[in-house]
């Protein structure tokens, strides 16, 4: 793709969107914060519905459009598109006050989401007591998890204990105007009516409650199967699944991080990448890309392609390390020239092309989307 305007990339996205099929999922392949929001925002205009299935306000998705920053915690990033229906699935735990704040922020920005917002009656509610309990548990435990203290774990705990409160019991306006009594029926009716659905994953695969780095994980399923479960969709309807990974890696909170780096290199990458939590503001831990982690994420999700984000953050590095096997780092020469805003793969420095091709070779999955900057237009879309 060539050109550097919103209209140029949006036109190209239109040209390739059909290949993604009726139902496409976008899933984080690392520990979250991979940059899923930008791709969701780009793709959402080509779909009828954008849906979040699991997680809560511990997620933070950032979209920058024309220099203006939008941060979402509960609403999907695709909510900025005025003609797209928005769904919050049964697998979510919802802090109603946070949701109302996000609705109001969008309204002030000229985006009225209420008429097109659909919330599962079966989604659970996060209460103030959950948040207080979350903070207390984190303070008292010997092995700190590093939670966001947003009450997510206790809310899911009450759900598992069958003592939680669901959205069907919260009938206060204006949320009551958005409730859908059975999200599974609603979603499957969309399928029958040939509507296109874009599923927005939250957090990342390595934080999955079953398959992540337990106990340093979130409290929900972050894989594509968890997303389908949270929306009441059968696996057979999924046509494509895009795995999103940074060209390096970050992690918020405690837990293992084999390729983590310290010192000046970590600080440089953190500052260039703006690696501070969208939800908590905490500095993210920084490390190199891990091929085994990407292979594992692909195994669990069946990715059809990669979106490699923030390639430009590595522009200044003389040498770039990669965990090529568990416990073994390899080194690649850096390109030390700006890739910011490049929208054609062929125009990337040869070393940057080789880096992307190495990821493709080792995972067996093409990198069809490559982020080269923070704005919507800063994306390479390779031909399929």
Q: Is 151 left (phi over 0), alpha (psi -120 to 50) or beta?
A: left
Domain assignment present for residue 153? The answer is yes
Q: What is the pLDDT of residue 3?
A: 43
> pLDDT tens, 26-77?
999 999 999 998 898 889 999 999 999 999 987 766 666 556 677 778 998 8
* CA–CA dist 79, 113 (Å, integer): 7
- The catalytic position among 15, 18, 61, 211 is 61
Please work out, in degrees rounded to the nearest 5, the angle formed at the alpha carbon of residue 20 by the alpha carbons of 189 and 341: 130
* CA–CA dist 104, 244 (Å, integer): 29
- HEC per residue, 117-182: EEEECCCEECCHHHHHHHHHHHHHCCCCCCCCCCCHHHHHHHHHHCCCCEHHHCCCCCHHHHEECC
Select the more confidently predicted residue: 70 or 112.
112
Domain assignment present for residue 287? The answer is yes
Average pLDDT in the chain: 89
Q: What is the pLDDT of residue 2?
A: 39
Answer whether residue 139 shows pLDDT above 70: yes
User: What is the total count of domains within the chain?
Assistant: 1
- Domain span including residue 240: 6-381
Domain assignment present for residue 1? The answer is no
* CA–CA dist 336, 349 (Å, integer): 9
Domain assignment present for residue 337? The answer is yes
Q: What percent of the chain has pLDDT over 90?
A: 67
33 is catalytic: yes
> pLDDT tens, 274-291?
998 766 678 999 999 999
61 is catalytic: yes
CB contact set of 143 (below 8 Å; sequence gap of 6+): 215, 254
* CA–CA dist 359, 368 (Å, integer): 12
Q: What is the pLDDT of residue 326?
A: 95
Q: CATH number for the domain including 77?
A: 3.40.440.10
- The catalytic position among 6, 15, 18, 33 is 33
Residue 295, classed as helix, strand or coil, is helix
> pLDDT tens, 311-346?
999 999 999 999 999 999 999 999 999 999 898 999
Q: What is the pLDDT of residue 106?
A: 84
Domain assignment present for residue 154? The answer is yes
Domain assignment present for residue 48? The answer is yes
Q: What is the pLDDT of residue 77?
A: 82
Q: What is the pLDDT of residue 62?
A: 67
- HEC per residue, 58-111: CCCEEEEECCEEEEECCCCHHHHCCCCEEEEEEEEEECHHHHHHHHHHHHHCCC
Poorest-pLDDT segment among 128-137, 178-187, 332-341: 178-187
Domain assignment present for residue 326? The answer is yes
């Amino acid at each position: 793709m060539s050109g550097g305007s919103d209209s140029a990339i949006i036109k190209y996205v239109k040209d390739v969107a059909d290949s993604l099929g009726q139902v496409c999922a976008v899933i984080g392949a690392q520990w979250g914060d991979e940059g899923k929001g930008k791709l969701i925002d780009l793709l959402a205009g080509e779909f009828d519905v954008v849906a979040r299935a699991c997680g809560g306000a511990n997620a933070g998705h950032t979209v920058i459009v024309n220099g203006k920053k939008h941060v979402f915690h509960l609403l999907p990033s695709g909510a900025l598109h005025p003609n797209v229906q928005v769904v919050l699935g049964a697998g979510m735990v919802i802090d109603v006050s946070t949701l109302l704040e996000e609705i109001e922020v969008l309204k002030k920005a000229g985006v009225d989401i209420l008429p097109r917002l659909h919330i599962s009656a079966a989604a659970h509610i996060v209460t103030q007591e959950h948040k207080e309990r979350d903070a207390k548990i984190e303070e008292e435990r010997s092995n700190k998890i590093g939670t966001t203290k947003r009450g997510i774990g206790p809310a899911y705990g009450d759900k598992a204990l069958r003592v939680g409160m669901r959205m069907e019991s919260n009938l206060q306006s204006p949320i009551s105007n958005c409730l859908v009594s059975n999200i599974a029926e609603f979603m499957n009716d969309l399928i029958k009516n040939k509507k296109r659905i874009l599923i927005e994953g939250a957090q990342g695969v390595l934080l999955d409650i079953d398959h992540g780095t337990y106990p340093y994980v979130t409290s929900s399923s972050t894989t594509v199967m968890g997303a389908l479960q949270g929306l009441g969709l059968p696996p057979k309807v999924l046509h494509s699944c895009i795995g999103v990974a940074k060209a390096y890696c970050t992690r918020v909170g405690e837990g293992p991080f084999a390729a983590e780096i310290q010192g000046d290199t970590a600080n440089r990458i953190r500052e260039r990448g703006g690696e501070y939590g969208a939800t908590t503001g905490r500095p993210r831990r920084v490390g190199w890309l891990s091929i085994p982690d990407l292979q594992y994420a692909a195994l669990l999700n069946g990715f059809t392609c990669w979106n490699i984000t923030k390639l430009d953050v590595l522009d200044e590095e003389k040498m770039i390390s990669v965990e090529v096997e568990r416990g073994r780092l390899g080194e690649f020469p850096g390109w030390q020239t700006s890739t910011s805003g490049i929208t054609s793969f062929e125009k990337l420095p040869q070393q940057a092309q080789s880096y992307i091709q190495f990821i493709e070779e080792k995972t067996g999955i093409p990198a069809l989307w490559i982020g080269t900057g923070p704005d919507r237009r800063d994306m390479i879309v390779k031909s399929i």
